[in-house]
Each structure stands twice: as structure tokens, then as C-alpha cells.
Amino acid sequence: MIVCSCSMISAQDIHDAVSALRTKDPFVVLTPGLIYKTLGKRPSCGSCLPLITKLMVGYDEEGPSSAASLPHRSPFDNTPRAG
Ligand code: FES
């Protein structure tokens, strides 16, 4: 799912950036700007920032181990996890 059409950022990109940032520094303060920087991109119109923030927080709350095992899970998916 494309989250940012200006910079072509997908939900998977955000997940991967959150995972990489948490792995590198468990105490890092996540911000949409840091996600963009990690992906080597810059926002243009900014209309995606609220969604990027929600995805970032959702993936971060999943934690590094569950985030790594469920790379395609949306934080808005309420289906119970298997296992
Ligand atoms: S949609 Fe992300 S900056 Fe425009």
C-alpha cells in the first residue's frame, strides 16, 4: 500500500524504517521526519504525514520481534494473530 504518493513510500517502507531505527537505537524518538530521512526521501505536500505517524506508532507498538515476523500486517488490522 502506497502511503506517500509524492515520495512513493509504502507501508512496508515505514515498517522497515521503524524496525531499522529501533534496532539501531532502542530509545530513538520516532518522528515522521526521521522516517523520511531514514528512507532517503523528503515530504512534498505533507498530506500523508498523519497516516505516516499512525503507521509509525502502530508498527513501533508491535515491537521489534513481532514487527519482524509480521511485515505486512497493518496496525489498523483488527484480526487476531495466529499463534
Ligand atoms: S503524499 Fe506524502 S508528501 Fe505528499
| 27 phi-psi bin (left φ>0, alpha ψ -120 to 50, beta other) | alpha
Report yes or no on 41 lying in a domain: yes
Q: Which of 10, 14, 45 to mutate to test the pocket of ligand 1 (most atoms within 8 A of CB)?
A: 45
Report yes or no on 74 lying in a domain: no
Give tens-digit pLDDT for 6-35.
Answer: 999 999 999 999 999 999 999 999 999 999
pLDDT at 67: 43
Report yes or no on 18 lying in a domain: yes
Report yes or no on 48 lying in a domain: yes
Question: What domain range includes position 43?
Answer: 2-69
- Assess whether pLDDT exceeds 80 at residue 59: yes
Report yes or no on 33 lying in a domain: yes
Q: Residue 46 CA: which ligand 1 atom is closest?
A: 3
Ligand 1 centre to CA of 61 (Å) is: 24
User: Cβ distance 44 to 70 under 8 Å?
Assistant: no
pTM of the model: 0.74
pLDDT at 27: 94
Report yes or no on 6 lying in a domain: yes
Ligand 1 centre to CA of 5 (Å) is: 6
Domain count for the chain: 1
